Amino acid sequence: MTHADLLLVLLALAFAWSMGAHYTGACMGMPYASGSIRLRPALALMAVFTLAGATFLSRGVLVHIGHGLLVAPALGAGPAILILAAAFLLTTLFTQRRIPTSTIQILVFCVAGVGMALGLAVRWDAILHLAVIWVLAPIVACLLGFAFTRLFDALPAFAAAETTGAIGTALVVVGAAASLTMGANDVSNATAVFLTTGFSGPFAAGAIGGVGLAVGVLTWGRPLLERVAFDVVRMDRRMATAAQLVQALVVLTAVGFGDFTSMNQALIGAMAGAGLARGRETVRRPVLAGILRGWAIGPAAGFVLGYAFATGYRLW
């Protein structure tokens, strides 16, 4: 292993660590907010399922992202390091400021910025394809969140489950499913470059990234978990179960086709749909406005920072 390869692995682990912390709220915020699970068990459960998803379910997304965004037979370790460094810095900044955003969109536009600065052909058609999915995912999640909430309200079994406490268990289960989905969906942000550079195959890339994600959940997951749990969400357990289930279904469907989309956007869409089904707001508007600003700034910042890093690298 060369020094450049070692730096690439360390950056990938750092980026995965940052993402693991960033998505704790999106995966386990509602089970925690509802009192269905305590803080430490929530983080431990998420870490285990995130690692499993990254290791065993991420191959399609890793291959697609590792080879599908730039028209190049292989990317050198230097440019790959620039991509990860830019994406890691931006994701960490958003996490530190406690603003849920899309690490996927940051990563994709970091790749585009670095590629353009280095004179590499960017597959804008592939990015457009992903952008369509990013737009559709929260819309579909909103519709399904509405439908599932109405369905759960109509089923006597769910009313009984709330009385017995079984609905809390169901909410923890769908939180675990969301964690599994997050590992499969988001590990490619950190380690798809392993395939692009020829450093490793998909299984090793998924496993290495999964370790970073799990460590991030355990060591720095609390701030974002509490952000979603106590600042964003206004839902009862039945609505939360519907929203979390929809989030996992929407994102896992995208993963099944080798695509990836935003866990946060799918969750917010599902929460909005659940609220519409009850005729009330489930997302606090000031917080939502901050999240939307993060989504708008993230891709632009990724492109600009990636371009700037690569320009400096080329001149140096």
DSSP state string for 50-62: HHHHHHHS-HHHH
Q: Rounded distance, CA 133 to CA 140, Å?
A: 10
What does the pLDDT read at residue 301?
92
pLDDT digits (tens, 9 = 90+) for 14-57: 999 988 988 898 899 889 988 899 999 999 999 999 999 999 99
Task: Give the phi and the psi of residue 92 in degrees, each rounded to 5.
Answer: -65, -40
Which of 93-97, 227-231, 240-244, 264-268 is predicted with the least confidence, judged by mean pLDDT? Answer: 227-231
pTM for the model: 0.89
Instruction: Over range 163-171, report the average pLDDT.
Output: 83
pLDDT digits (tens, 9 = 90+) for 279-312: 876 666 776 676 677 677 889 999 999 999 999 9
Determine if residue 165 is left, alpha or beta; phi over 0 gives left, psi from -120 to 50 gives alpha, anything else beta: left
Residues 6+ apart with CB under 8 A from 305: 86, 89, 90, 110, 113
What does the pLDDT read at residue 101?
72
Distance of CA 97 to the CA centre of its chain: 17
What does the pLDDT read at residue 190?
95
For the CA atoms of 56, 12, 216, 65, the dihedral, rounded to the nearest 10 degrees, stands at -50
100 pLDDT band (50/70/90 cuts)?
low
- Measured over the CA atoms of residue 180, residue 185, residue 189 and residue 192, the dihedral's sign is positive
What does the pLDDT read at residue 286?
72
- pLDDT for 104 beyond 80: yes
- pLDDT for 155 beyond 60: yes
What does the pLDDT read at residue 174?
95
Write b or e for each residue in 178-203: b if 16 or more Cβ atoms lie within 10 A of its Cβ, otherwise e. Answer: bbbbbbbbbbbbbbbbbbbbebbebe
230 pLDDT band (50/70/90 cuts)?
low
Write b or e for each residue in 209-245: b if 16 or more Cβ atoms lie within 10 A of its Cβ, otherwise e. Answer: bbbbbbbbbbebbbebbbbbbebbbebebbbbbbbbb
Instruction: Report which of 298, 309, 306 is spatially closest to residue 92, judged by C-alpha positions.
Output: 298
Instruction: Over range 162-173, report the average pLDDT.
Output: 84
What does the pLDDT read at residue 79?
94
Cα end-to-end span (Å), the chain: 24
What residues does each domain of the chain span?
A: 3-315
